[in-house]
Structure 1
Amino acid sequence: MSTPLLDPWTDAATIAARLNAPSARLTLIVGATGWCEICRTLKPVFESLAAEHGGKNDTWLWLDLEDHAEFLDDFIPDSLPLLVSYKGAQLTHALVPSRLTTSALADLMAESPRIEQAALPDIRARLMAVDWAT
C-alpha cells in the first residue's frame, strides 16, 4: 500500500489520529535538504520506502531542520540525517543510517531497537498533542 510522507504543518489531525491507533508505527527522518548532501540523497530513498512499506497504521515524516525548526523546538541532532522510529509509544530507533539504499533502510527498521541519539525530544508526543492537531 502506498503511503505518502505527511507533514506536521499540513497533516496534524491525520497524524494525531494515526498515532492513536494501538498498532501505530511512526518513522521519520530529521534532515536538512537545503545544505546536507546526504539528506538530499536519502530523501527520495525514504519516500520510496514509505511508498513500498507503508500501511494504514504507518506514519512517515520528513522533518527538515529549517522547515520544521519551530516544531522540533530547535533540536539539532549530533549528526544528520537522523532516523527515528516508534512502535506504538516505544522509541525503537534513533540513529544515523550508514547505508542509504531502500533495502538497507528496510533491513535497519527490521532490526532490534537501536538508540544512538541520547538527547532526543519526544516527537511522537508532540505530534499527538491535542493543541497541535487542532
Structure 2
Amino acid sequence: MTMLDPWHDAAAIAARLAAPAARLVVLIGAESWCERCRTLKPAFESAALQAGQDETWIWLDLEDHADFLDGFMPDDLPILVRYDGPVLSGAMVGRAVTAAAFTNAQVWPAHQAPAGLPDLRARLMAADWAM
C-alpha cells in the first residue's frame, strides 16, 4: 500500500476509512525544517508499503497540509497518531516517535494526543474532503 494524500486521494481515503476494521496511521511533520521528521520519513514510507489492506498511512506536512490541519501548530514534532476504527488508539510526540513504532504497535506508550489536534479521521471522512 502506498501512502495517500488528502489533497489528491480524498475519496479513496474516505472509502478506506469507512470499513469497520480500518486502521489509520498519520505522521505529522515538517520535512523542510524538522531534522527528526526528515530522518523518520523513509522508515514511515517503508512501513506504509508493508501495511495491511485495512490500514491507511498518511504523512501530513505542517506546511503542505496547513489548510487541512486547520491552523494546528504543535509544540513539538513529529506527531504520530493511530486510529483503530473511529477510536484514537495511540499518540506519540517528539522524541517518543521512533521507526520501531511504525512496525510494532506494542511499543506505543499510553500518550494522549496533543492539545488542539483536530480529529484527523473525521476530517478525512468529511464530505468536503472526499469529493
Q: Percent identity?
A: 56
Is the contact between residue 6 and residue 124 of structure 2 (CA under 8 Å) also seen in structure 1? yes
Change (3 A) 1:75 1:99: closer
Change (3 A) 1:13 1:76: same
Distance 2:121 2:7 in 1: 14
Equivalent in 51, 55, 61 of residue 49 of structure 2: 51
Change (3 A) 1:75 1:22: same
Distance 1:43 1:130 in 2: 29
Q: Secondary structure at the match of 2:128?
A: helix
Gaps of 5+ in 2: none
1:63 equivalenced with 2:41 (yes/no):
no
Is the contact between residue 81 and residue 113 of structure 2 (CA under 8 Å) also seen in structure 1? no
Q: Secondary structure at the match of 2:47?
A: helix
Distance 1:95 1:104 in 2: 9
- Runs of 4+ residues over 4 Å off in structure 1: none
Equivalent in 75, 80, 86 of residue 89 of structure 1: 86
Match of 1:106 in 2: 103
TM-score (norm 2): 0.90
TM-score (norm 1): 0.88
Gaps of 5+ in 1: none
Superposed CA RMSD: 1.6
Number of aligned residue pairs: 129
Is the contact between residue 18 and residue 59 of structure 1 (CA under 8 Å) also seen in structure 2? yes
